[in-house]
Amino acid sequence: MIIRVDVAIDASPNDVWTFVEPIERHVDWMADAARITFCGEQTRGIGTEFDCLTTIGPFRLNDRMVVTEWEPGRVMGIEHRGLVTGRGRFTIAADADRTRFAWTEVLRFPAWMGGALGELAAKPVLEGVWRRNLRTLRTLVERA
């Protein structure tokens, strides 16, 4: 399953990165991220490993993630290594006098979550949650 959502934010790419760079603060703008716990001392950059307790409605799972890309002000990429596997990527780019923030996920559900059929059913729900997350991020950045 591939999901891509994006939003225009009235701020510079560096201002947006200020809110995206602290992984532990993603819970402030991601409604589905209930808790983030680092697996070691590293909290920034490639190789950072963390668990994200993800909740959507009655569904809860602990998603192990590892940062695979880190370009300050431009890109953060992660690999999902939990029950749901795949890759996610945030990109930040100047767009005239605003910033375009895009979030792309390529995810695979395990058989017990319905595999490809579960993905099909989950895709519109996840898109809706993540669009709301980006609206929240935009509000936080623009108010700062």
Average pLDDT over residues 64-78: 97
- pLDDT, residue 59, reads 85
For residue 26, give the nearest of 102, 134, 125 by alpha carbon: 134
pLDDT for 91-144, tens place per residue? 999 988 999 999 999 999 999 889 999 999 999 999 999 999 999 999 999 999
8 A C-beta contact, residue 51 and residue 36: yes
CATH of 2-143, one of 2.40.50.140, 3.40.50.2300, 3.30.530.20, 3.30.70.20: 3.30.530.20
Structural domain spans, the chain = 2-143
Backbone angles phi, psi at 12, to 5 degrees: -80, 160
- Rounded to whole angstroms, the Cα distance separating 88 from 26 reads 14
- pLDDT, residue 113, reads 87
- pLDDT, residue 57, reads 86
Q: Which residue has the higher pLDDT, 22 or 61?
A: 22
Q: C-alpha 12: how far from its chain's center?
A: 19
Q: Which residue has the higher pLDDT, 80 or 112?
A: 80
Average pLDDT over residues 25-34: 96
Backbone angles phi, psi at 5, to 5 degrees: -130, 150
8 A C-beta contact, residue 79 and residue 106: no
pLDDT at 58 over 90: no
- Rounded to whole angstroms, the Cα distance separating 23 from 36 reads 8
For residue 39, give the nearest of 49, 54, 24, 27 by alpha carbon: 49
Indicate the average pLDDT of the chain.
96
